[in-house]
Amino acid sequence: MNGISSLPNYINGQWLTSNATEYLDVINPTTAAILARVPLSPASEVHQAAEAAAVAFESWRRTPATERVQYLFKLKNLLEENFADLARTITQECGKTLAESQGEMRRAIENVEIACGIPMMMQGTNLEDIARGIDEIMIRQPLGVVAVICPFNFPGMIPFWFLPYAIATGNTYIVKPSEKVPLTMQKIFKLIEKTGLPKGVINLVNGAKAAVDAILDHPQIKAISFVGSTPVAKYIYSRGAANGKRMQCQGGAKNPIIVLPDADMEMTTKIAADSAFGCAGQRCLAAAIAVTVGEARARFTEAIAEIAKKRVVGNGLEQGVEMGPVITSQSKTRIEQLIQQGVAAGAELLVDGRNPQITGYEQGNFIRPTILQNVSPTGEIARTEIFGPVLSLIHLDSIDEAIALVNSGQYGNMACLFTSSGAAARKFRYEAEAGNIGINIGVAAPMAFFPFSGWKDSFFGDLHGQGNHAVEFFTQTKVVVERWPNNWSRQF
């Protein structure tokens, strides 16, 4: 294998070489260097992990919550101690800047911290004397074996929307990392191993569709979390739900930001640029459409174009770089084709970021920030998730038209408003049909103690990741109604 290491799975407390017959190269999107080879594990290895997790569940569920969270306290400290190395690994395999990778790991750690409060978050409800001599109690119990199917764009953060809550509530867990970016989770599992967590409580299986389908079909896996594109989210949700599993599937997005004439334009354009071009636009909360209302058009258009042209693109490990590459050469090609599709449909290329030359990184998957203006609100480019550093500009005459545009979209992940008017802000947050709302915020990412929301084709399920939603998702309620004889004390 030319000196390139093949990644193992982690099952039942052991690092195991996969029996896979197919492997994929893990490629640094900045340099095109091969970092490792990831096995496309067969269904039998998912079965092995599920069986180990099912055995471990019987004792793990009986471990007091106060003891379970001690492993999370240890993990939190280990993540802090290895923070720099993990952030660097994310940049190497995912392409984002080091600052973005550091922000991602900070969010991951925040979720571990919140999950350490599970003894309080899992509290049930007691009501004495619902009738004479009868009490009623609601308690929470874990589901059993649960799993997560992860995307490529946040290899360190997104698994932690789910993982710490799942094991803290008494479940056992299987992680299927994205086959494009498996290295970060390899390192995190080595840290998990150091916590002394009982074998089988948490497992890692690398792979692609065969592994995913095995997770969806396995009878001992009771619940599945997923983050990715909407077509895949629909497939995973449908197949998993048909098999009787509890599902939470985060899909795609086409996030609009609305700019009113009274917005602080200097602040707005900076925030909008960071939202649209941060992480090379490869995040489900990236601004994809900027809707200028009335007189905001000229000032915003000129300012955002200037910022886009000046954004420093290159190796995310280098100081001063503000944007890295997209994940694969196939992604680069697809994004550039969509840009051309927009132009063919009548949009104007205000800033063209296609085919840049990044000195020293000619093999990287780079696209510079791109801005399309005069995009038709009903055109295909305004409806398609590009998932790259491309911002479409649309002009409307009123906030009512802007809100109508927001609500007409297929997706409902995020919508943001920039204004100095409290009345406009209140109207927008009340009427806009999206799960995450920003007011003078470009990336309305909830803190770990709030659920990561999403509406319409951006989410399939009822309970989201993070916070109390995660606790509810990973537990089932049991109501106990009990009566004891009035003379019970005489028995002792």
**What string of pLDDT tens digits covers the 492 residues of the chain?**
457 899 999 999 999 999 999 999 999 999 999 999 999 999 999 999 999 999 999 999 999 999 999 999 999 999 999 999 999 999 999 999 999 999 999 999 999 999 999 999 998 888 888 888 899 999 999 999 999 999 999 999 999 999 999 999 999 999 999 999 999 999 999 999 999 999 999 999 999 999 999 999 999 999 999 999 999 999 999 999 999 999 999 999 999 999 999 999 999 999 999 999 999 999 999 999 999 999 999 999 999 999 999 999 999 999 999 999 999 999 999 999 999 999 999 999 999 999 999 999 999 999 999 999 999 999 999 999 999 999 999 999 999 999 999 999 999 999 999 999 999 999 999 999 999 999 999 999 999 999 999 999 999 999 999 999 999 999 999 999 999 876 555 555
> In this structure, is residue 29 part of a structural domain?
yes
Catalytic residue among 94, 150, 284, 416: 284
User: CATH code at 278?
Assistant: 3.40.309.10
What the block records as the tokens of 369 is 């920030």
Residues 285 and 190 in one domain: no
> In this structure, is residue 444 part of a structural domain?
no
DSSP lists the bridge partners of residue 141 as 476
**Rounded-to-integer distance, Cα 453 and Cα 445, Å:** 9
Residues 229 and 278 in one domain: no
- Altogether, the residues listed in the chain come to a count of 492
How many folded domains does the chain comprise? 2
**Residue 448, CA distances (Å) to 195, 461, 465 in order:** 22, 19, 9
pTM summary value: 0.96
Residues 299 and 348 in one domain: yes
Residues 290 and 366 in one domain: yes
> In this structure, is residue 410 part of a structural domain?
yes
What are the DSSP calls for 436-461, one per residue? EEEES-SS-PPPTTS-B--EETTEEE
Residues 121 and 31 in one domain: yes
Residues 273 and 395 in one domain: yes
Residues 159 and 228 in one domain: yes
Residues 171 and 208 in one domain: yes
Residues 15 and 124 in one domain: yes
Considering only CA atoms, which of 283, 358, 272 is closest in space to residue 313?
358
Instruction: Read off the amino acid at residue 280.
Output: A
**Rounded-to-integer distance, Cα 112 and Cα 311, Å:** 34
How remote is the C-alpha of 489 from its chain's centroid? 55
Diameter of the chain measured on Cα atoms: 88
DSSP lists the bridge partners of residue 416 as 257, 438
Residues 86 and 231 in one domain: yes
> In this structure, is residue 492 part of a structural domain?
no
Quick one: which H or E segment has residue 248? strand 246-250
**Rounded-to-integer distance, Cα 457 and Cα 470, Å:** 20
What the block records as the tokens of 152 is 């490529």
> In this structure, is residue 337 part of a structural domain?
yes
Residues 144 and 244 in one domain: yes
Residues 214 and 296 in one domain: no
What the block records as the tokens of 126 is 């007691």
> In this structure, is residue 484 part of a structural domain?
no
**Rounded-to-integer distance, Cα 427 and Cα 53, Å:** 48
284 is known as an active-site residue = yes
**Residue 384, CA distances (Å) to 142, 330, 391, 409 in order:** 39, 17, 12, 10
Q: What angle do CA 17, 52, 170 make, to 5 degrees?
A: 130
Q: Domain range for residue 295?
A: 255-439
> In this structure, is residue 487 part of a structural domain?
no
pLDDT confidence of residue 121: 92
User: CATH code at 197?
Assistant: 3.40.605.10
**Rounded-to-integer distance, Cα 332 and Cα 371, Å:** 16
> In this structure, is residue 420 part of a structural domain?
yes
Determine how β-strand 134-142 pairs with β-strand 125-131: antiparallel
